[in-house]
Amino acid sequence: MSFIAVFYLPSIRLVRYTAFVFCQSILIDGIFDILYTHSMRRVIAVANQKGGVGKTTTVVNLGAALADLGYRVALIDLDSQGAMTVSFGLNPYTTKPSMVNLLLNKDIALSDVAKSVAERLQVAPAGSDLLSAEYRLLKQPDRTTRLRDAIEKSRDDVDYVLIDTPPNLGLLTVNGLVAANQLLIPVKTEYLAMRGVRPLLESVWLIRDRINPDLQLLGVVPTMHGASPNADAIVSEMSKVFRNKLLKSTIPMDEAAAVAPASRQTVLDYRPASRAAVAYRELAKEVSDVLR
């Protein structure tokens, strides 16, 4: 059951119009003119209601690449499947405390849950019953701000918080968007993948208006480039839709990125010279430059 209902028309023209209006509204508000310093915490929700677009892979490897650049990074697993948690060798059934505890207990801060997995890199693991926690949250008056409050209470001084959201527009995703000041949308380079972006942007627009006016679109990153023979044409269409919000970095289809989680490693550690590892390093540099 989605927390926010959106009316969906699968027209690419409507996607383009929605993206244009969303970006224009942000420009009018002057949000894109905000200057960030290295000491400010950037909270980035990585979201797309369509599954299989490389969202978790992007959170894991972008986070690792930012840590390699010298930033202190915390990754949050809000997906009940716990793929990001497992990728770092953590067991969502036994690792405590988890995001379940954080969301259901207002006294728990992000720093109470995050586990160090590498130098300058922490992971706040998903719990095995994260889905049931979402339903329990529905009755709470502060149900949309639990994650934001926990991040604000955190005692750890981190530069980036990356949030892996589930592939839907439910309450867990809403918590991620309310907590974030930036939104990164991975979009697989195939035609059908673009059609899920409009409902997400409409939800983001609603959240900005009602709950989180600081939320802005960091950008759209093309993923799994090469999986479709029309990948280049789709990236060209993305540039028309998202204009300057289409990031320059493109994540290629690379077996190394798919195999790395089985070794409980990021692709940067598993195969440092792979195309995916190089692309995520480029993405980390681009993100850090945009938010500097």
Q: What is the pLDDT along the chain (292 residues), one digit of tens a residue?
A: 444 433 333 445 555 555 555 555 544 344 333 333 334 789 999 999 889 999 999 999 999 999 999 999 999 999 999 999 999 999 999 999 999 999 999 999 999 999 999 999 999 999 999 999 999 999 999 999 999 999 999 988 999 999 999 999 999 999 999 999 999 999 999 887 777 788 889 989 999 999 999 999 999 999 999 877 888 998 998 999 899 999 999 999 999 999 999 999 999 999 999 999 999 999 999 999 999 8
Pairing of β 121-124 and β 115-118: antiparallel
According to the model, what pLDDT value does residue 2 have? Answer: 43
CA distance linking residue 266 with residue 10, whole number of Å: 35
Q: Delineate the domains of the chain, giving CATH numbers in brackets.
A: 12-290 (3.40.50.300)
According to the model, what pLDDT value does residue 23 have? Answer: 54
According to the model, what pLDDT value does residue 196 have? Answer: 75
Q: Note the pTM of the prediction, 2 decimals.
A: 0.86
* DSSP secondary structure string for all residues of 121-186: EEEEPPPTTHHHHHHHHTTSTTTTTHHHHHHHH--S--SEEEEE--SSSSHHHHHHHHH-SEEEEE
According to the model, what pLDDT value does residue 21 have? Answer: 52
CA distance linking residue 166 with residue 170, whole number of Å: 8
Q: Which amino acid is at 46?
A: V
According to the model, what pLDDT value does residue 7 have? Answer: 31
Cα separations (Å) of 146 from 44, 52, 63, 211, 222?
16, 27, 23, 13, 31
| Nearest Cα to Cα of residue 76 among 184, 211, 176 | 176
Query: Which residues sit opposite 246 in a β-bridge?
Result: 220
Cα separations (Å) of 228 from 233, 237, 252?
10, 14, 11
